[in-house]
Amino acid sequence: MARQDQTIVDTKYGLTQRQLDFCVAFVECGVARQAAIKAGYSERTATNQGSTLLTKQGIKDKIYDLRHDDTKRRIATGAEVMEFFTKVMNGEVKDQFNLDPSLSDRLKAANELAKRTTDIENRLDGRTDNEIKIKLEWE
């Protein structure tokens, strides 16, 4: 019978629960020894365990994916930015004093939306920035 800490819980990377805990802790703190202790390895062997774990490909891959997922959550997508500008323009977003956005803030948001919308439309039409500038100069 396999010990509980030897049972594979992450089949994609072939990691046990303790190894998975190590990965999460390592992403949080960035120190292998501390991550090993948080994952339940003994303080006496934590330095060696942490170093050994970081050499395993499944551990490296899981840490990479955890960092990548964290980055994706922190960085707004283009659609999120457009949605935010739209909400500001429509007066749906309040400031820190729970007041509606000022007219100047709403106009700035509308201007930012217009820039992005025009840029997207031009790219869909296949026109380059230089072609657009030349066209505007002749009009």
Task: Report how far residue 98's alpha carbon sits from residue 91's, in angstroms, rounded to the nearest whole number.
Answer: 12
Identify which of 56, 4, 57, 54 has the alpha carbon closest to the alpha carbon of residue 33.
54
Structural domain boundaries of the chain? Answer: 4-74, 78-138
Q: State how far Cα 29 lies from the chain centre.
A: 17
Query: Is the whole model's pTM more than 0.75, yes or no?
Result: no
Task: Report how far residue 119's alpha carbon sits from residue 91's, in angstroms, rounded to the nearest whole number.
Answer: 24
**pLDDT reading at 1 higher than 50:** no
Task: Report how far residue 114's alpha carbon sits from residue 108's, in angstroms, rounded to the nearest whole number.
Answer: 10
CA distances from 99 to 43, 86, 88, 91, 95 (A): 53, 17, 12, 10, 5
Q: Read off the amino acid at residue 126.
A: G
DSSP label at residue 9: E
Residue 82 pLDDT: 85
> pLDDT digits over 75-122, tens only?
677 778 888 888 998 999 888 888 888 888 988 888 888 877 766 566
DSSP 86-118: HHHHTT-S--TTSPPPPHHHHHHHHHHHHHHHH
Average pLDDT, the chain: 81
User: Check: CATH 1.10.1740 for 4-74?
Assistant: no
